[in-house]
């Protein structure tokens, strides 16, 4: 299990109600399950978002296959207008 932080941008930040928070999760899939539990608005945004793990794009990889290292930073990037 890795400890790290998740950062929210734009609509994800608004839906989460915070700019960042700490996590304990082994994979991106596990993290997404944790952060969206009892947060329907955030779950809706996350489904449309892209992710960076330590500055590298996750792309189309399965979130279950994205292993998080200790000290990882995960960024939640919702679609932005105009680009």
User: Domain containing 12: what range?
Assistant: 2-77
Number of domains the chain is built from = 1
Per-residue pLDDT of the chain (83 residues; tens, 9 = 90+): 899 999 999 999 999 999 999 999 999 999 999 999 999 999 999 999 999 999 999 999 999 999 999 999 999 999 875 54
Q: What is the CATH number of the domain that holds 6?
A: 3.10.20.30
pTM check: above 0.85: yes
Locate the DSSP E strands across the chain.
2-8, 20-25, 50-53, 56-57, 73-77
Query: Can you say whether the dihedral through the CA atoms of 40, 23, 62, 11 is positive or negative?
Result: positive
| pLDDT value of position 80 | 74
In this prediction, residue 79 carries a pLDDT of 85
Identify whether 82 is part of a domain. no
Would 83 be classed as within a structural domain? no
């Amino acid at each position: 299990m890795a400890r790290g932080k998740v950062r929210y941008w734009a609509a994800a930040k608004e839906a989460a109600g915070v700019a960042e928070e700490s996590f304990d999760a082994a994979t991106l899939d596990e993290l997404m399950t944790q952060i969206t539990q009892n947060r329907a608005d955030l779950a809706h945004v996350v489904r449309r978002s892209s992710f960076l793990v330590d500055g590298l794009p996750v792309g189309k990889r399965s979130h279950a296959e994205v292993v998080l290292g200790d000290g990882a930073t995960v960024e939640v990037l919702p679609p932005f207008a105009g680009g």
